Amino acid sequence: MRLVARLKNLNEIEKLINLRVDCFLVDTPLAVRAINKDLFNHLDKIKSYGKDIYFLLNKMIHEDDIEAVKEILKIAQEIGVTGIVAGDITLMVLADEFGLKNKVIYQPGTMNTSSFDNEYFFLKQIKGITISKEITLEEIQKIFEIKKTELSLIGHGYLDMFYSKRKLISNYFIYKNTSKNNIIGNDRFRLKEEMRPDSFYPILEDEAGTHIFRDKALNSFDEFLELKKGLDDFFVERIFISDEEYYDSIAAYQDRDLVEGFLRKYHDNYNKGFYYQYTEKLKGDLNEN
Amino acid sequence: MKTELLAPAGNLEKAKIALLYGADAVYIGGKQFSLRARASNFDLDTIEELINFAHGINKKVYVTMNIVFHDDDVFGLDEYLRFLDKLKVDAIICSSMVVVERAKAITDLEIHLSTQFSLTNSVLANYFYDEGIKRVVLARELSLEEIKEVQKQSKADLEVFIHGGMCVSYSGRCTLSNYTSLRDANRGGCAHTCRWLYDLYEGDELLSDNHDFQMSSKDLDATEFIKDLVETGVSSLKIEGRMKSIHYIATVVSAYRMLIDDYYHGSMRDLSFYQNEIKKAENRQTSHGFFKGDTTINEQLYNQRSEIPTKEFVGMVLDYDKIKKKVLIEQRNYFIPGDVLEIFTPDKTTIQFKVDKILSEELIELDAARHPLEKLLVSLNIEVPKFSLIRKVNYE
């Protein structure tokens, strides 16, 4: 199983290599919830370290984005990326034009929830799929049982749970008739719901819209050995996490002896997401789909 | 081919009302595999009854199977698909590839891709067409210009939402409800967490006032864009709201029916006519959504939740006695002798009359119509058809 780290700057490459990271996930111009899109201008430098590179291209692809996607795919072809992490299967179709379909990792966040999704995308000959973030460990293990295509998981960090095209923070300040600078990309905004006063949900607005995240980061230390049995890639997310904590988390995944110290230091920030938590069906109403 | 008007139906009565008031097709959910399963009274027998009714008047029925399937959800899928195929359902609407592939493998069902997939471009529309999907429902985040561009390039038929509630997130990409309420948004359990009230902080600094950071969107109203959408060549115009009342469905369907027909006949009235018709039913505030591009504060709801309907729904016509000149009504809201009521028929005729006496079925005179679903007799000189709806005119 490869350990995939999101790259934030060139200065940390050696640090991450020393932490035995297998692959760098690099923001492209069409990455959402990006860490540092400027890195895309330094691909030769990143490549010179000899590690695998994945491109992050997880925006919902609208008609106007198609040419930009193709430009990124040309660059992917030139530098020989190992993977293209896609939020939208439009990428699978466009990558095929460049002979890159087998590099695409379909990572919509939701949607990849069953063994059948694994089989479907195996038949489509893409590189792999990232298992959805809202399913249980038991369900993940069921997908492992008849594994076909490569499987991955975002197993650590603050996971997004909402992606809207609406600019909700900017609009709010317009509604309040208040001028507010530094909205786009500002990672210090948080939401508190009136009935849940102890939970703060990070909210981020970028060029593509608004994203809301879980109040606690996910950790998979206890599940890591089990996950290793079926996963090809384990993504370690770093948004809203300090560099120090991020490096500590990677070290703890590489060395089980460091987990206890990590949890002692950062425990309040973490939970187990949906690994042991079933969600109920069939109680909704209102909006149609 | 004339653009289809597609209406929601949460039960058989709503489906019949939608078809009678002008929908070309209705979409329904069964008790399994549908995001609005709770909204459904459609067991297999009822689906069959509806299909017979709809096909008898040359209209269509689509069945939604748009949950995002987990492994445990697949149980019974083949049997259900075979049943729908046998009934000659006109199409299924789905978002999981397991449904698409099983339907292709074991049935001749036409397949539509749900908006739950959030399809936003022509590349994907063509991909799914090549995969055997005849029609795709576009994401509600597309502008009119984007819809035109997709239509220009797409081999698949396009279905576009024109009226009703909107997800704030891209549909199918939200797990707010899962995380905050343990209710699976993509398997029919959405708790509408996006409509809750929030405070906004930057670091530890509170920036909002008294939970006034809200994400709710106004409902969609595309009356302004129907002409463009029809001219663009989209195949189907879709109204949202399987949970809505029969009055809402009849009113909204009827208004869009008139608008589409008037366009085709070259006799379109001022848009305010159709918009005022829609306002007669209960409604949240509306906006044009993404049709003009990125949304602004005008497409969001801040501290205001509902519009008051301009007319109150008080009953539905069950029968008319030509000899005694009495109409049999099923009561839905309070009215009294002396009230002026308006009867709104499926063929869009409106008849106003003043209530003289209200009689129970046992012919006992009542001082008011108080009880929902009570059957009542009221004098009326003009024959009106079954399923006509009755509104109070002097509603304030």
C-alpha–C-alpha distance, residues A94 and A106, integer Å: 13
Q: Can you list the domains of chain A with their CATH numbers?
A: 2-159+218-271 (3.20.20.70), 160-213 (no CATH)
pLDDT tens-digit readout, A188-237: 999 999 888 889 999 999 999 999 999 999 999 999 999 999 999 999 99
Nearest C-alpha neighbor of A269 from the set A247, A244, A241, A248? A241
- Cβ–Cβ gap B194/A120 under 8 Å: no
From residue B200, alpha-carbon distances to A163, A201, B94 in Å are 17, 10, 36
- Cα angle, residue B105 at apex, residues B99 and B109 outer, rounded to 5°: 70
Tell me the torsion sign for CA atoms A235, A239, A245, A246: positive
Residues B324 and B258 in one domain: no
pLDDT tens-digit readout, A164-180: 999 999 999 999 999 99
pLDDT (0 to 100) of residue B40: 59
Total Cβ atoms within 10 A of residue A136:
16
Total Cβ atoms within 10 A of residue A80:
10
From residue B43, alpha-carbon distances to A283, B54, B84, B96 in Å are 18, 16, 11, 22
Contact, B25 vs B90, CB < 8 A? Answer: yes
- Which helix (H) or strand (E) segment holds residue A136: the answer is none
Q: Which one of B307, B340, B370 terminates a domain? A: B307
Q: How far does Cα B383 stand from its chain's mean position?
A: 29
Residues B238 and B328 in one domain: no
Confidence of residue B187 (pLDDT cuts 50, 70, 90): confident
Residues B303 and B324 in one domain: no
C-alpha–C-alpha distance, residues A106 and A156, integer Å: 18
Is B85 a residue whose pLDDT tops 60?
yes
Tell me the torsion sign for CA atoms A30, A36, A41, A47: negative
Tell me the torsion sign for CA atoms B43, B46, B52, B53: negative
Residues A81-91, mean pLDDT to the nearest whole number: 97
Residues B93-119, mean pLDDT to the nearest whole number: 96
Q: Which residue has the tokens 């405070």?
A: B199
Tell me, what's the ipTM? Answer: 0.94
- Which helix (H) or strand (E) segment holds residue B274: the answer is helix B271-278
pLDDT tens-digit readout, A115-138: 999 999 999 999 999 999 999 999
Percent residues over pLDDT 90 in chain A: 92
pLDDT (0 to 100) of residue B396: 45
Nearest CA in chain B to A179: B207
Residues B29-52, mean pLDDT to the nearest whole number: 80
- Cβ–Cβ gap A163/B74 under 8 Å: no
Residue B370 is assigned to a structural domain of this protein: yes
**Average pLDDT of chain B to the nearest whole number:** 93
Residues A61-72, mean pLDDT to the nearest whole number: 98
Residues B327 and B283 in one domain: no
Residue B322 is assigned to a structural domain of this protein: yes
Size of interface A-B (CB pairs under 8 A): 259
Is A288 a residue whose pLDDT tops 50?
no
How close, in Å, is residue B190 to chain A by CA atoms?
Answer: 5
pLDDT (0 to 100) of residue B284: 81
Encoding tokens for residue B189? 């359990």
Residues B22 and B143 in one domain: yes
- Strand partners of residue A202: A190
pLDDT (0 to 100) of residue A216: 96
Q: Which among B120, B189, B241 has CB closest to A284?
A: B189
Nearest CA in chain B to A97: B123
Q: What CATH number is associated with residue B259?
A: 3.20.20.70
Residues B153 and B287 in one domain: yes
Residue B265 lies in domain? 4-166+217-307
Residue B244 is assigned to a structural domain of this protein: yes
Instruction: Label residue A186 left, alpha or beta by phi (over 0 means left) and psi (-120 to 50 means alpha).
Output: beta
Residue B278 is assigned to a structural domain of this protein: yes
C-alpha–C-alpha distance, residues A112 and B183, integer Å: 18
End-to-end CA distance of chain A: 37
Residues B294 and B358 in one domain: no
pLDDT (0 to 100) of residue B38: 58
Nearest CA in chain A to B244: A286
pLDDT (0 to 100) of residue B307: 63
Domain count, chain B: 2
C-alpha–C-alpha distance, residues A232 and B137, integer Å: 34
C-alpha–C-alpha distance, residues A189 and B77, integer Å: 43
Q: Which among A114, A175, A283 has CB closest to B38?
A: A283
Nearest C-alpha neighbor of A106 from the set A135, A86, A76? A86
- Cβ–Cβ gap B241/A288 under 8 Å: yes
pLDDT tens-digit readout, B240-289: 988 889 999 999 999 999 999 999 999 999 999 999 999 988 778 899 99
Residues B302 and B316 in one domain: no
Task: Say how many CA atoms lie within 13 Å of B281 toward its Cβ.
Answer: 23
Q: Which residues in B112-122 are b (16+ Cβ under 10 Å) and which e?
A: bbbbbbbbbbb
Is A286 a residue whose pLDDT tops 80?
no
pLDDT tens-digit readout, B138-169: 999 999 999 999 999 999 999 999 999 999 99
pLDDT (0 to 100) of residue A285: 44
- Cβ–Cβ gap A186/B179 under 8 Å: no
pLDDT tens-digit readout, B319-359: 999 999 999 999 999 999 999 999 999 998 889 999 999 99
Task: Say how many CA atoms lie within 13 Å of B344 toward its Cβ.
Answer: 31
